[in-house]
Amino acid sequence: MAHTSVIDALEAADVTHVLGIPDNTSGPLFDALGRHPSIRLVIVTREGEAFAMASGLWLGGARPLVVVQNTGLLEAGDALRGTAVRMGAPIPIVITGRGYPKMRAAGLGPETPKTPELMTRPDVDSVALVTEPTLDAWGIPFEVCATGDDPAAAVAALVHRALHRECPCALLVTTDLV
Amino acid sequence: MLSRSEFLEPLARHRTNEVVVTTMSVTRPWGRLSDHDLDFASADSAMGHTADLALGIALARPDRRVVCLNGDGSMLMTLGTLATAAASGAENYLLVVVENGTYEITGHQPIPGAGRLDFTAMARGAGFRAVHRFDRADAWAEAVPELLRAPGPTFASAIVERTGEGPISRTTREEARYLRASLADWSRTLRAALRNS
């Protein structure tokens, strides 16, 4: 993607603030947003902070979007549950998916039973195994944006879905953003 | 040291159209002093995430002062927000940490570092524009009008007595109106109040 097309989608969806912590996938998007004339980028210190701040922004009438890696999503569990979910705040969440190439290369998927042996295997990044089951458990509706999908269209649909359902919704990006 | 009423009453007296976000031990006492759609209780919510939630409101509405009454244990859970708030440059943001050295509503267990922590040093180090500490009621009462006016981000620490506030719920049995509604319903009350003002 061209991250410019994702930014076009954010502009078209009237997103006012993007909050989160960059990773190698989302870094170029953060770089571009840092130069954007109207969408305000807020880099936070911990992912839970992004969900609480985004919920506050929504209370104030803004339209925020959160960008975090799946590792940070796990760290932020109660912040997400206790703010956006409990408030019914329509926060779109873009989750960059660490560990998916390794998981696929090992012939595994989110549905694979999580045995202690599997979770300690050195050739598997366990975060990919637990991301989708965690979103299910937390009641966060999500779609996956994989190789061949259009990230800009997926982000546009994500914002629409969150607003329509009046709850936080996620887009799990398992391919490169750029 | 301030009593709970010495801390809250000057704020209630001088408050006009500010958003006031409360959590933990001041939630009920503030709700007894104030019945305003611009009050928001961070209760039945995410523990430790009041200062950041309030900062979000402040960033969304730079025309409106946002006052966050945070707990000291709550502040410790998200110290990074001090850096985020200072970096945001939100001039309308006033963060007050109510220091009683304990997790009061669970029975006064001491917070880590109680008696040795210096929240004002942390706020100053994080880059807050203005930092204050209050341990006398008269100084606090005198400062409140200016704290509600001066450009921030502003940080204040208030040394407040321990009381006996128990666990906070959101039920119709609560006296404070903002605790009788669900978090989702009151969120819409605050949104509407901000939209219409």
Q: B180 in contact with A at a CB cutoff of 8 Å?
A: no
Q: What mean pLDDT value characterizes chain A?
A: 95
Query: DSSP characters for A110-162?
Result: TTS---HHHHT-TT--HHHHHHHHHHHHHT--EEEE-TTS-HHHHHHHHHHHH
- Can you name the residues that pair with B130 across neighbouring β-strands? B154
DSSP secondary structure letter of residue B111: P
What are the chain A neighbours of B197 within 8 Å (beta carbons)? none
What are the chain B neighbours of A17 within 8 Å (beta carbons)? 59-60
CB spacing of A87 vs B184 below 8 angstroms: yes
CB spacing of A42 vs B44 below 8 angstroms: no
CATH superfamily of B4-190: Thiamin diphosphate (ThDP)-binding fold, Pyr/PP domains (3.40.50.970)
Please tell me the predicted confidence (pLDDT) of residue B197.
85
What are the chain A neighbours of B68 within 8 Å (beta carbons)? none
Q: Is the pLDDT of residue B9 over 80?
A: yes
- Which one of A57, A79, A89 has the shortest CB-CB distance to B49? A79
CB spacing of B45 vs A59 below 8 angstroms: no
CA distance A89 to B184: 8
DSSP secondary structure letter of residue B8: H
At B113-152, the pLDDT tens digits run 999 999 999 999 999 999 999 999 999 999 999 999 999 9
The helix (run of H) or strand (run of E) holding residue B76 is: helix B72-77
Please tell me the predicted confidence (pLDDT) of residue A178.
52
CA B94 to chain centre: 8
Can you tell me which residue has the tokens 């500490």? Answer: B133
Q: B181 in contact with A at a CB cutoff of 8 Å?
A: no
Strands B109-110 and B102-103, bridge-based pairing: antiparallel
Please report which residue ranges of chain A form alpha helices under DSSP H. Answer: 3-12, 27-34, 47-59, 70-75, 77-80, 86-87, 100-105, 116-119, 126-138, 151-165
Please tell me the predicted confidence (pLDDT) of residue A13.
97
CA distance B139 to B147: 12
Among A43, A49, A81, pick the best mutation site for testing chain B contact (most B Cβ within 10 A).
A49
Span B164-193, mean pLDDT? 94
Of the candidates B66, B69, B50, the one whose C-alpha atom is nearest the C-alpha of residue B134 is B69
Can you tell me which residue has the tokens 């009453």? Answer: B9
**What count of other Cβ atoms lies within 10 Å of the Cβ of residue A38?**
8
Q: Which residue of A has its CA nearest to B89?
A: A42
Contact A169, A142 (CB under 8 A): yes
Please tell me the predicted confidence (pLDDT) of residue B166.
84
- Can you name the residues that pair with A169 across neighbouring β-strands? A92
DSSP secondary structure letter of residue B16: S
CA distances from A103 to A32, A170, A174, B166 (A): 30, 20, 11, 47
CB spacing of B56 vs A59 below 8 angstroms: yes
- Which one of B61, B81, B83 has the shortest CB-CB distance to A61? B61
At B27-67, the pLDDT tens digits run 999 999 999 999 999 998 899 999 999 999 999 999 999 99
At A34-72, the pLDDT tens digits run 999 999 999 999 999 999 999 999 999 999 999 999 999
Measured CA angle at B48 (ends B47, B53), to 5 deg = 100
Here the contacts of A5-12 (C-beta below 8 Å, separation 24 or greater) are A5/A151, A5/A152, A6/A151, A6/A152, A6/A155, A6/A177, A7/A32, A7/A33, A7/A36, A7/A39, A8/A152, A9/A152, A9/A153, A9/A155, A9/A156, A9/A159, A10/A39, A10/A65, A10/A155, A10/A159, A11/A38, A11/A39, A12/A156
**A7, A12, A13, A18 alpha-carbon torsion, rounded to 10°:** 30
Domain ranges of chain B: 4-190
What are the chain B neighbours of A45 within 8 Å (beta carbons)? 80-81, 83-84
- pLDDT category at B169 given cuts 50, 70, 90 is confident
- pLDDT category at A1 given cuts 50, 70, 90 is very low
Among B59, B75, B182, pick the best mutation site for testing chain A contact (most A Cβ within 10 A).
B59
Q: Is the pLDDT of residue B163 over 50?
A: yes
**Nearest CA of chain B to the CA of A120: how many Å?**
30
Q: B171 in contact with A at a CB cutoff of 8 Å?
A: no
CA distance A51 to A174: 21
CA distance A29 to A91: 18
Please tell me the predicted confidence (pLDDT) of residue B167.
87
Q: B61 in contact with A at a CB cutoff of 8 Å?
A: yes
- pLDDT category at A17 given cuts 50, 70, 90 is very high
Of the candidates A50, B24, B178, A162, the one whose C-alpha atom is nearest the C-alpha of residue B188 is B178
Please tell me the predicted confidence (pLDDT) of residue A175.
78
- The two most distant CA atoms of chain A are separated, in Å, by 49
Please tell me the predicted confidence (pLDDT) of residue A109.
93
Q: B139 in contact with A at a CB cutoff of 8 Å?
A: no
Please tell me the predicted confidence (pLDDT) of residue B105.
86
Contact A128, A102 (CB under 8 A): yes
CB spacing of B59 vs A59 below 8 angstroms: no
Span A97-123, mean pLDDT? 94
CA distance A87 to B115: 35
Please tell me the predicted confidence (pLDDT) of residue A64.
98
